[in-house]
Amino acid sequence: MKNTSSTWIGACGAVLAMTLAAGSALAQEGFRGAGPRMGPPQHMDGRYGNNHFYPNRGVVVGAVPGRPFVFNRPGGSFYYSGGIWYAPRGPGFVVVAAPIGLFVPVLPPYYATVWFGGVPYYYADDTYYTWDASQNGYQVVAPPGDPNGAAMDAPQPPPPQGDQMYIYPQNGQSAEQQASDKYECHKWASSQTGFDPTQPGGAVSPDQLDARRADYRRAMIACLEGRGYSAR
């Protein structure tokens, strides 16, 4: 009995050791989710109703998750994936603040649109983006401020643009794929209708606003449904 008990205790100890080792290994992997139970230290970004979890700046991960966009600058490289920015550090990568001035082809999957001075800004994880048609992309910009340079914490209400559209992926599309599909459908719908909801008044004359907005909505729904989404 004594030997059996010792063997059992030893086996339990080995299992516990393997479990702890596995947990430690998982903690070294790249950030993989948006919930409070994921491994790396993270925070809830509730500003402007963003309500999403992001890894803390300074967190080091073994690999950048997903298929990141890579930006090589004279001062170093940056990696952008899922709305999170990384820079190389040793054998891994560290979560960093978004570099001001860079352009990205797609917005973070979970962004909030806020308006300052009649201009739409797209916000996620303490980072602001604005659309630049000349670059066909979204530029990382400094937080919007008043003429004296002070940060403006209270966004202005956007121009009336109808009911919000609700989009649900039906084929298990990743967050990155969803962001890309929504952007591509937005470009197509805008080109077809002349209406752009990211611009004041939809970039159309007031007498055309309601009709063009309805056309844009129908075009968006058709495009998204063709890509495997339910939209309403």
Instruction: Measure the CA–CA gap between 170 and 221, rounded to whole angstroms.
Output: 14
Q: Which helix (H) or strand (E) holds 44?
A: strand 42-45
Last residue of a domain, one of 36, 67, 96: 96
Q: Average pLDDT for residues 74-100, to the nearest whole number?
A: 93
Distances (CA, A) of 155 to 49, 123, 159: 12, 11, 12
Q: Could you tell me which residue, 190 or 25, shows the higher pLDDT?
A: 190
Last residue of a domain, one of 63, 96, 129: 96
Residue 178 lies in a domain: yes
Structurally, the chain folds into a number of domains equal to 2
User: Could you count the other beta carbons within 10 Å of the beta carbon of residue 174?
Assistant: 14
Lowest mean pLDDT among 33-47, 82-96, 187-201: 33-47
Q: Tens digit of pLDDT for each residue in 102-144?
A: 999 888 888 888 888 778 888 999 999 998 888 888 999 998 8
Percent of the chain with pLDDT over 90: 24
Q: Tens digit of pLDDT for each residue in 184-210?
A: 888 888 899 998 876 767 778 888 888
Position 168 confidence tier, pLDDT thresholds 50, 70, 90: confident
Residue 13 lies in a domain: yes
Residue 86 lies in a domain: yes
Q: Tens digit of pLDDT for each residue in 43-78?
A: 888 888 777 888 899 999 999 988 899 999 888 899
Last residue of a domain, one of 78, 96, 114: 96
Lowest mean pLDDT among 11-20, 96-105, 213-222: 11-20
Lowest mean pLDDT among 3-12, 48-57, 184-193, 214-223: 3-12
Residue 106 lies in a domain: no
Residue 56 lies in a domain: yes
pTM score, whole prediction: 0.56
- Tokens 């604005």 correspond to 130
Name residue 138's amino acid.
Y
CB contact at 8 A, 180 and 187: no
Residue 108 lies in a domain: no
Residue 161 lies in a domain: no
Whether residue 175 is found in the same domain as residue 91: no
Residue 182 lies in a domain: yes
CA 212 to chain centre: 28
Domain that holds residue 25: 2-96
